[in-house]
Chain A
């Protein structure tokens, strides 16, 4: 017996002992599909880094969100396709003016210490998240939810008790909005809106998130947490739907290096890990059942600095269009990244719900035609072999950003004779440079907050805080303003994308894909969910 199998044998023995006889015989079957379940129902996956917080009110990154969604349950969950599924709330009614929501909560939802989850827990959690005292970095989420008085509470002008949320009784929660928001219920699947246990927080202070202290209402409870190493959560016997939970134990391991993570995946230590850039074709040929690529709600682009006083070179629209045309997206997507990403000619991700990618002329040209046009535009702008353009390109430190930048700088050089000076900046320096307009061309990436095209296109508004190009266009502003209240905004979005293509404030490069290796016995992963919101309670492992 090798050391490793010995170890595995011991762990599974322990598992069987602790989980009782239900799945130990290995012949248990899935209640719906009837598949034979594996005896070992533990799920181990890789996280890139330690999450800043696992307190629902304080959490701020998507990896932390994955953990919080297992430990806590909000009013609603997302199902495999991204639609609403009941959580603690069973249903809701909306007032005629679309400003007041009344939620009916289930009466059998329990905290892990046996207490009932009440509407009051939600009221407490939301007021806590908004309070200046907690100073949550995600308190702004309550503002974009259009919660009544949220901005005033966060700014400290009103007491948190004035927030537009009230527990009418234990199972009825009333929420008041300051403006109608059609996708409001979907936002309730976000961790900032999850309930937190008041008694526990008051007893332990910031230490309440440590294992042993934490009381939670999700399908799992926290049993072990070693920052930068591992976080373990196990079945919550008190969870209202406990009998349908199949995975017994979920472990997230922090492994910084993706190649190390892949090695450990191949050695059988992990059930899910990221595929390093460029390795997808090889891995999917070798492990067709394990390497999976699905669209991910983010766009990758380069932005030009259009501020007054920025470099004159990129103020010329011909230069910007030429640089955009000369980027061979197919090479970036197929050769550099090779993970199922799609070439981007529009800013909005192609898979965004209800969005039809408009016909952008350059999208249907061949690269040779694009290059030819790019050379013409450059000549028109007054640049040529004897007067080459020099461009500074900044990106943040990362192997794949580097590969993309190296490839694009060479495309510009080989097609247009443009000399590119690459500057790789460490993350915080990069953010500051981009924010202050201290760049000529900079990398950008944007991920959807919700599944609708405006989450991308809002960035092009003159006043948007995220418009780092400082692109100003009155028509775009008007179109986006109109889109907010319009029933069918597709025409507006088409026009905005056309303007982006004509004015080229940014170069859309590709639309992300989420590329992972999954244990072939792992089932129930919500690949269809565009925002990749997954819940361990929906997963299960089948017997080999």
Chain B
């Protein structure tokens, strides 16, 4: 187990390096630069700016400087767009926001998704099943950029119950709409996976045996069926988590939450190279870590799996 973790972490470093180099190349291949604008800057002004940010150095040297800055002092450099801030500032401000509503969306998606799926499976082919399946598919097909403005119209404009956006340090009333908009499609997927996984488990011999022995249904479900049911759900959580971080773009646009998604998209459009790199590395690292955690959980729940 330990050697597995070590091995995975060892692969992580070259992975991140590939990511850094790939993003660097993509950025430099991009037309335009961080300091272009409708009215081009006079050459002497541009020269000053490029010197300030080290963009006058040869390409390889920029990469080396960047990587060594990150490795030695965890310094991701200054933002080219937000001139009063460093990349560390930007991430320190945006990431906790994304993490907060991402976490709650995750909790909501998993709790409701698994409950719906289990309920649907146990009561297969009853109205509960149809209801759960209907809801989950409906939630999956409604794009969240449609859901977000609908939520705004209903809860902010018509009912006046919730503020239409902002963050205010993450008070609950600012969290509700982002969490609903972000979690629904994941909730739906989780419900569908749970349902089919649970059905499969309920048909296996050991569950049938347990039932035959006269154990109460509730006990059979919780003690025996839950664990194997949850395995396929677990393997979905890695991609789901990454999807939520990327999906946060829409949340940030509609609810003005100031999360990392908006910063990423803006920096891609503004060619804010250092912020793009910082966020890409952050999300890459999280993806690797999260996949690792999922794999460890997997092994922990299912002792048959050996790494």
Q: In the complex they form, do A and B come into direct contact, defined as C-beta atoms under 8 angstroms apart?
A: yes
Q: Is the CB of A428 within 8 A of B44?
A: no
Q: How far is the CB of A216 from chain B (nearest CB, A)?
A: 14
Q: Is the CB of B51 within 8 A of A256?
A: no
Residue of A nearest to B161 (CB): A3
Q: Which of B35-43, B182-190, B217-225, B239-247 is near enough to bind chain A?
A: B35-43
Known contacts A227-B93, A269-B164, A428-B30; A209 and B258 CB within 8 A of each other: no
A433 contacts partner chain B, Cβ-Cβ < 8 Å: yes
Q: Is the CB of B45 within 8 A of A226?
A: no
Q: Which of A27-35, A50-58, A377-385 is near enough to bind chain B?
A: A50-58
Q: Is the CB of A229 within 8 A of B166?
A: yes
Q: Is the CB of A49 within 8 A of B37?
A: no
Q: Is the CB of B37 within 8 A of A431?
A: yes
Highest count of chain A CB atoms <10 Å: which of B41, B42, B165 = B165
Known contacts A55-B84, A229-B167; A254 and B258 CB within 8 A of each other: yes
Q: Which of A13-21, A77-85, A135-143, A233-241 is near enough to bind chain B?
A: A135-143
Give B252-278 as 1s and 0s: 1 = Cβ < 8 Å from A's Cβ atoms.
Answer: 111011110011001001110000000
- Contact partners of A4 in chain B: CB under 8 A: 160-163
- Contact partners of B258 in chain A: CB under 8 A: 226-229, 254
A266 contacts partner chain B, Cβ-Cβ < 8 Å: yes
B25 contacts partner chain A, Cβ-Cβ < 8 Å: no
Give B265-304 as 1s and 0s: 1 = Cβ < 8 Å from A's Cβ atoms.
Answer: 0100111000000000000000000000000000000000
Q: Is the CB of A263 within 8 A of B156?
A: yes
CA–CA, A52 and B48, complex, Å: 17
Residue among A132, A140, A229, A254 making CB contact with B41, cutoff 8 Å: A140
A206 contacts partner chain B, Cβ-Cβ < 8 Å: yes
Residue of A nearest to B158 (CB): A267
- Contact partners of A2 in chain B: CB under 8 A: 159-161
B94 contacts partner chain A, Cβ-Cβ < 8 Å: yes
- Contact partners of B35 in chain A: CB under 8 A: 137
Give A204-245 as 1s and 0s: 1 = Cβ < 8 Å from B's Cβ atoms.
Answer: 001101100000000000000011111000000000000000
Main secondary structure of the interface of B (DSSP, over half): loop
Residue of B nearest to A3 (CB): B161
Residue among B36, B44, B78, B152 making CB contact with A432, cutoff 8 Å: B36
Count class of interface residues, chain B: 35 or more
| Residues in A104-140 with C-beta less than 8 Å from chain B | 132-133, 135-137, 139-140
Q: Is the CB of A49 within 8 A of B266?
A: yes
CA–CA, A156 and B51, complex, Å: 12
CA–CA, A143 and B41, complex, Å: 12
A435 contacts partner chain B, Cβ-Cβ < 8 Å: yes
B232 contacts partner chain A, Cβ-Cβ < 8 Å: no
A427 contacts partner chain B, Cβ-Cβ < 8 Å: yes
Known contacts A49-B266, A52-B82, A433-B31; A260 and B254 CB within 8 A of each other: yes
Q: Is the CB of A427 within 8 A of B269?
A: yes
Residue of A nearest to B34 (CB): A428
Q: Is the CB of A54 within 8 A of B84?
A: yes
Known contacts A230-B166, A256-B253, A256-B262; A431 and B38 CB within 8 A of each other: yes
Total residues of chain A contacting the partner, CB 8 A: 57
CA–CA, A440 and B32, complex, Å: 19
Q: Is the CB of A135 within 8 A of B82?
A: no
Residue among B44, B84, B152, B256 making CB contact with A256, cutoff 8 Å: B256
Q: Is the CB of B31 within 8 A of A228?
A: no
A367 contacts partner chain B, Cβ-Cβ < 8 Å: no
Q: How far is the CB of B89 from chain A (nearest CB, A)?
A: 8
B81 contacts partner chain A, Cβ-Cβ < 8 Å: yes
Residue of B nearest to A436 (CB): B31
- Contact partners of A143 in chain B: CB under 8 A: 42
- Contact partners of A414 in chain B: CB under 8 A: none
Residue among A227, A264, A266, A466 making CB contact with B82, cutoff 8 Å: A227
Q: Is the CB of A139 within 8 A of B31?
A: no
Q: Is the CB of B48 within 8 A of A228?
A: no
A257 contacts partner chain B, Cβ-Cβ < 8 Å: yes
CA–CA, A494 and B164, complex, Å: 50
Residue among B36, B44, B81 making CB contact with A52, cutoff 8 Å: B81
Residue of A nearest to B167 (CB): A229
Q: How far is the CB of B72 from chain A (nearest CB, A)?
A: 21
- Contact partners of B51 in chain A: CB under 8 A: 132, 135
A369 contacts partner chain B, Cβ-Cβ < 8 Å: no
CA–CA, A50 and B51, complex, Å: 25
B52 contacts partner chain A, Cβ-Cβ < 8 Å: yes
Residue among A5, A267, A435, A466 making CB contact with B164, cutoff 8 Å: A267
Q: Is the CB of B165 within 8 A of A255?
A: yes
- Contact partners of B94 in chain A: CB under 8 A: 227-228
Q: Is the CB of B173 within 8 A of A263?
A: no
Q: How far is the CB of A144 from chain B (nearest CB, A)?
A: 10
- Contact partners of B33 in chain A: CB under 8 A: 428
A429 contacts partner chain B, Cβ-Cβ < 8 Å: yes
- Contact partners of B48 in chain A: CB under 8 A: 132, 135, 139, 154, 156
Residue of B nearest to A4 (CB): B160
Q: Is the CB of B84 within 8 A of A135?
A: no
Q: Is the CB of A55 within 8 A of B44?
A: no
Q: Is the CB of B32 within 8 A of A429?
A: yes
CA–CA, A2 and B158, complex, Å: 12
Residue of B nearest to A46 (CB): B256
- With A50-B82, A428-B30 known, 20 other A-B pairs at CB within 8 A are A2-B159, A4-B161, A50-B266, A53-B82, A53-B83, A133-B52, A135-B51, A139-B48, A151-B44, A155-B44, A226-B167, A227-B258, A255-B165, A255-B256, A256-B252, A256-B256, A260-B152, A269-B163, A428-B269, A435-B40
A-B contact pairs, 23 of them (CB 8 A): A4-B160, A55-B83, A135-B48, A206-B85, A207-B84, A227-B85, A227-B93, A228-B252, A253-B165, A253-B166, A255-B256, A259-B149, A263-B153, A263-B164, A264-B164, A266-B157, A267-B157, A267-B164, A428-B33, A431-B38, A432-B32, A433-B31, A435-B36
Rank and list the top 5 A-B pairs by shortest CB-CB distance, nearest first: A428-B32, A229-B258, A264-B164, A228-B258, A432-B31
